[in-house]
Homo-oligomer: A and B are copies of this chain.
Amino acid sequence: MQKKEAPLHNNLAWPTVQRLSEYLIILEQFAEGGREVISSSELAEVYSNTPSQVRQDIFRLPNTGRVGQGYRIKELAEAIRETLGLDSVTKIVIVGCGRMGMTLAQHIPFGEHGMKLCGIFDNDPTIIGLEIEGTKVEDVSILEKKVVESAVSMAVLCVPASVAQELADRLVSSGIKGILNLTRQRLKVPPGIYVQYEQIICSFMQLAYKCKQSPRPAPNL
């Protein structure tokens, strides 16, 4: 069976993109553990979906698995990175260094995923100047200057909701391409600019819905 040529303009379905990013995390962990090969059914087991869906997701990738053998973990991970656009460095800034911004700055292994943290900005004089994970917090007044200078392409927005739109506008006018929005403010941006909303409270609500489907089980200690 011959693998069809990968289409040049690879347009993946959004649910597929979401799963691929999660597969990548799983693959990286397997790789750390020294595993070299994984089958679609094993990945499906860990991810809690079906082998068929895993194969369908991987099907669009440039990579080739080995029929009868499974996938080389490193090759597959690389193929996912490439497809997601993580093979070349993505420059990022964090806007708002309150509790959440600071936590993200310290918590997220940007470097491990093809991203480079190029700046952290805040307007609080007691925070400006602090060094977090090797990056100094700068005054938000020089945000535009820095974003343009470094040609930053993505921003994380962790400011109070009341100023979120204003800062989004400033980021957009500085040429930013995507915003990861952790505020509860919906943002209005021009076409071609992408906003990804990340509201943990919504995840709670969604989990609450799942939990409602059946009664709480008895403890089993």
Residues of A within 8 A of B (CB): 12, 17-18, 21-22, 24-26, 29, 46-48, 83-86, 90, 92, 99-100, 103-104, 106-110, 113-115, 144, 147-148, 151, 153-154, 161, 173-175, 177-180, 184-186, 192-194, 196-212, 214, 216-221
Contacts and interface: CB of A to CB of B under 8 A. Distances in A.
Contacts of A216: 151, 153, 175, 177
A219 B84 contact: no
A211 B104 CA distance: 21
Contact of A175 (B86, B108, B201, B219): B219
A83 B210 CA distance: 11
Contacts of A114: 208
B47 A205 contact: no
Contact of A186 (B26, B206, B207, B221): B26
A29 B162 CA distance: 11
Nearest to A155: B207
How many of these chains are in the complex?
2
Contacts of A184: 25, 29
A178 B208 contact: yes
A115 B209 CA distance: 13
B192 A217 contact: yes
Contacts of A107: 99-100, 200
A201 B109 contact: yes
Given A21-B202, A29-B161, A99-B107, 10 more contacts: A21-B209, A90-B208, A100-B103, A108-B204, A110-B204, A147-B219, A151-B216, A153-B216, A175-B220, A180-B207
Contacts of A48: 186
Nearest to A208: B85
Nearest to A174: B219
A201 to B, nearest CB: 6
A40 to B, nearest CB: 16
B113 A205 contact: yes
Given A29-B184, A184-B29, A220-B173, A207 B203 contact: no
